[in-house]
Structures are given as structure tokens and as C-alpha cells.
Amino acid sequence: MNAPHHPKLQAALTECALHASVLQEAAAALPPRFDAADAAAVTAELRRSLDQAAYRFMKLQDSLGEKVLPGLLAATLDPLPPEAPFAQRLQRLERLGALPSVEAWRLLREVRNALAHDYPDQPAIQAAAWNRLRAAIGELLAVWRAAQAFSAKI
């Protein structure tokens, strides 16, 4: 990508790179699986790692969805009109190879929205949410890598 021609997109990519890096660090500190007992007796260290992972997951997905993906689409030779629905934009990005899967993006959005809720009195639900986050981190990082690779081609 020719950065001087797309400074807003370049800034968004730089922002996402930071979120992705910190998200990977936080994910490395998480156990591979959670159960209700983990949620009922969460340590301060695990809480910090979970909070960091959830925060960076949300920030990375928001930045991708609000800045990078629209910027990639605008930088192509065949952008959609501004009034095009977001679903149509995602489909175009999938066809172009900038987004691995529209369905995966939708599922990641569900995980992101679920992270806004906390269930301290329901450890089984909390553990399930953490497991879903843990599984979704790799998917979100794959979306980030695809967008990053696509940006290098435009």
C-alpha cells in the first residue's frame, strides 16, 4: 500500500497492529479452557489477563470494522457507494480477499457484544463466555492478518 495516498488507513492499520500485539500477549496468559470453578475463584492475575484480552479484542474488532475495512474498500479501484449497507461492504471485502469470511465476522461481532456483559453470580455462564472469547481471539487475529495482507496489495 502506498501510505502517503492513504494516511487514515495507515494510521488505522498501525492502531490495529498495537491492539493485535497486546491481544496476543494477553491470550498467551490465558489457560486453554475455563470451567465454572475457574470463574468462581478467579485470581487477580487471571482477571487482569481476561480484562486485557477482552478490551483489546473489542478495540481490535471495532477498529477493523470502523476504520480498516471501510478504508480498504475505499482504497480499491471499485469502492461501493457510501450509502451501501455494511453487509454489502463485508461481502465485497470477502470477494476481494480482505476478509476471510462474512459469517466469521458476524460471529466475532456476537462475541464482542457478549463481552459487554458480566455474569459474576453465574460462574458457568462466565466460563462459557471466557471460552468463547478464547476461541474467537485466533479468528479475529486471522481477520487482522488478512486485512493487513490485503492492504499491502492495494
Range from 38-47, 76-85, 98-107 that averages highest in pLDDT = 98-107
Q: How many CB atoms lie within 10 A of CB 117?
A: 9
State residue 3's pLDDT score.
45
The DSSP annotation for 83-143 comes to TS-HHHHHHHHHHHTSSS-HHHHHHHHHHHHHTT---TT-HHHHHHHHHHHHHHHHHHHHH
Residue 76 has pLDDT above 50, yes or no: yes
Taking each continuous run of H as one helix and of E as one strand, the counts in the chain are: 7, 0
| Rounded mean pLDDT, 35-39 | 92
Q: Summarize pLDDT for 117-131 with one digit per residue, the tens.
A: 888 889 999 999 999
Q: What is the mean pLDDT of residues 84-108?
A: 95
Mean pLDDT across the stretch 137-151?
97
What is the pTM (predicted TM-score) of this model?
Answer: 0.91
Is 90 exceeded by the pLDDT of residue 36?
yes
At 44-57, the pLDDT tens digits run 999 999 999 999 99
Q: What is the b/e burial string over 118-139, where b = at least 16 CB atoms within 10 angstroms of the residue's CB?
A: eeeeebebbbbbbbebbebbeb
